Amino acid sequence: MQDLGGELIAGEAPRPGFRAEPHFEVHRVEPGRFALSFWGRFPPGWCGALSLSLSQAGFGVIQGFAKKVREKAWVAEFEIESSREGIAVESLDFLAMAISSARAPGLRRLALSAFSVGDPDKHEGAIYLEVRGRDQAGFLAELLGQLAFLSFFPEEMIVQTVEDQVFDRFLLRGLGGQAPAPGASQALTRWLEGLKVQ
């Protein structure tokens, strides 16, 4: 993802060396759009928690990436867009959002137009997942929440929304970074087939 630059309005600027404790910063890119950066140690499922909290706060994720660089240590950057006026971004605690235990109320139905599941043998034991579909409020949060329910957690992801279409890619592992169980790819494929719009 390109460096979005912009005005630093909250958070702590990066310092030399990788720090274990979690940190974030947020830049205003343009009115209503912001670039969020995270680095440090985060708990399993934090991307889903962040996505849900952002959705509930009135933000959509336009594009971004997150990558686990070592055990529980992550770097991530997301461009987010406000869906309503008057949100005081500088007052939001984005770290608290990332470790929230809130549960999604659930979309009426996740709807995918296409998906692809890759062979773990070709991705160092991780399952590659690619999904496409029509954007809905809370789409990413719901997808990550349901994947977590099935014991799949991203160790790397790239997300993008163009107009009203979502194109998200993930490398998935089990809890604690374990390789998915035998047959996990097939089980994931069966579940995703039930989400496809015919």
CA distance 190 to 20: 38
Length of the chain: 198
Residue-wise pLDDT for 17-64, tens only, equals 455 788 999 998 888 899 999 999 998 888 988 988 898 888 889 999
pLDDT interval class at 5 (50, 70, 90): very low
Q: Which of 121, 104, 105, 8 is nearest to 49 (CA)?
A: 104
Residues 54 and 76 sit within 8 Å (Cβ to Cβ): no
Q: Which residues of 94-118 are buried (b: 16+ CB within 10 A; e: fewer)?
A: bbebbebeeebeebeebebeebebb
pTM listed for this prediction: 0.81
pLDDT greater than 80 at residue 194: yes
Residue-wise pLDDT for 120-155, tens only, equals 778 888 899 999 999 887 888 889 888 988 889 999
Residues with Cβ within 8 Å of 93's Cβ and at least 6 positions away in sequence, in order, are none
Orientation of helix 46-56 relative to helix 139-149, angle to 10°: 150
CA distance 175 to 153: 7
Residues 38 and 93 sit within 8 Å (Cβ to Cβ): no
- Per-residue pLDDT at 11: 45
Percentage with pLDDT > 90 across the chain: 32
- Per-residue pLDDT at 155: 92
CA distance 31 to 165: 22
CA distance 56 to 129: 25
- Average pLDDT over the chain, rounded to whole? 82
